[in-house]
């Protein structure tokens, strides 16, 4: 019987009708039953500022740190902005990595899925995020690489994946992540 793992999902888009959020929700629906997911909201995080940390830690920073501390692994699903990650996602990473020496990210297995309307599927964001995760000591799933292009054509009006091929690929991603967590923890 596989062990159950608690997984944080961090979506790098704040849009209500985000294709990244729809993609994350689709991954959850296709996931093996041993993965339990919590969506971690990042839109309310004040920008990281060490002076603020030194004087009074904002409640949203404490919430994020506690939520990430309580999970076994993290799934990042992000768009690409200007060939990199959205500022809100980078801010969440910075908040969770502080104070120095007390990063909540360390040793947590991770996977990165980038979703974009462009044909390259958020390649730049995916690799910029991976660079940060390596520094944070998060073992990152290498295969399958998950650059999802043509995002606006992926979902029907009910938010379901339209294509069996896409559904199969999403299932491959989330099953590989489950196996990665098993091997890494």
The model's pLDDT over 134-181, given as tens digits with 9 standing for 90+, comes to 999 999 999 999 999 999 999 999 999 999 999 999 999 999 999 999
Distance CA 113, CA 117 (A): 14
pLDDT for the residue numbered 73: 98
Mean pLDDT of the chain: 96
95 closest CA partner among 71, 66, 74, 124: 66
pLDDT for the residue numbered 53: 83
Overall number of domains in the chain: 1
CB 116 within 8 A of CB 122: yes
**Strand arrangement of the beta sheet that strand 5-11 belongs to:** 35-39, 5-11, 73-78, 110-115, 147-148
Q: Is the pLDDT of residue 1 over 80?
A: no
Region 46-68 average pLDDT = 93
153 closest CA partner among 177, 126, 121, 175: 121
CB-based contacts of 116: which residues, under 8 Å, 6+ apart?
A: 79, 80, 122, 125, 147, 148, 149, 151
17 closest CA partner among 128, 118, 163, 154: 154
State the CATH number of the domain containing residue 106: 3.40.50.360
Percent of the chain whose pLDDT exceeds 90: 91
Distance CA 56, CA 35 (A): 35
Distance CA 28, CA 26 (A): 5
79 closest CA partner among 22, 136, 34, 36: 22
Please give the span between the terminal C-alpha atoms of the chain, in angstroms, as a whole number: 16
| Owning domain of residue 67 | 5-184
pLDDT for the residue numbered 121: 87
The model's pLDDT over 72-82, given as tens digits with 9 standing for 90+, comes to 999 999 999 99
């Amino acid at each position: 019987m596989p062990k159950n793992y608690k997984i944080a999902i961090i979506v790098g888009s704040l849009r209500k009708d985000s294709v990244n959020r729809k993609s994350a929700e689709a991954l959850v629906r296709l996931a093996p039953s041993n993965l339990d997911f919590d969506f971690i909201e990042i839109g309310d995080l004040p920008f990281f500022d060490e002076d603020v940390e030194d004087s009074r830690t904002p409640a949203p920073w404490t919430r994020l740190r506690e939520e990430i501390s309580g999970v076994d692994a993290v799934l990042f699903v992000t768009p690409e902005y200007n060939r990199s990650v959205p500022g809100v996602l980078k801010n969440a990473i910075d908040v969770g990595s502080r104070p120095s020496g007390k990063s909540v990210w360390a040793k947590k297995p991770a996977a990165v899925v980038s979703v974009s309307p462009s044909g390259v599927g958020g390649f730049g964001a995916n690799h910029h995020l991976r660079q940060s995760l390596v520094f944070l000591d998060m073992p990152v799933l290498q295969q399958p690489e998950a650059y999802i292009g043509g995002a606006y054509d992926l979902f029907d009006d009910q938010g379901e994946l339209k294509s069996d091929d896409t559904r199969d690929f999403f299932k491959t991603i989330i099953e590989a992540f489950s196996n990665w967590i098993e091997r890494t923890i």
